[in-house]
Amino acid sequence: MDKETNIDNNILIALVQARPVLWDKTLDIFKGRCATREAWSQVCCELNEDFKEMESKGKNESRTVA
């Protein structure tokens, strides 16, 4: 990334905890790539308000930070 990104760990944890598809292996939907990808996209959008407007390369870099 061009700029350093500082993410509040408590906010990130809360966003992930609110989406069991990302962490609860007992859910059938946990295995669904579309569902997990959408959940990560939601997390990224909440952490970075410009996420939806970013180019694909920028989105991939943002996801690696989160």
Residue-wise pLDDT for 35-46, tens only, equals 999 999 999 899
Q: What percent of the chain has pLDDT over 70?
A: 73
d(CA 35, CA 61): 20
pTM: 0.69
* Contact between 45 and 51 (Cβ < 8 Å): yes
Structure tokens belonging to residue 32: 């669904």
4 located within any domain: no
3 located within any domain: no
- Structural domain including 58 reads 9-65
2 located within any domain: no
28 located within any domain: yes
Average per-residue pLDDT for the chain: 81
30 located within any domain: yes
Domains of the chain: total: 1
1 located within any domain: no
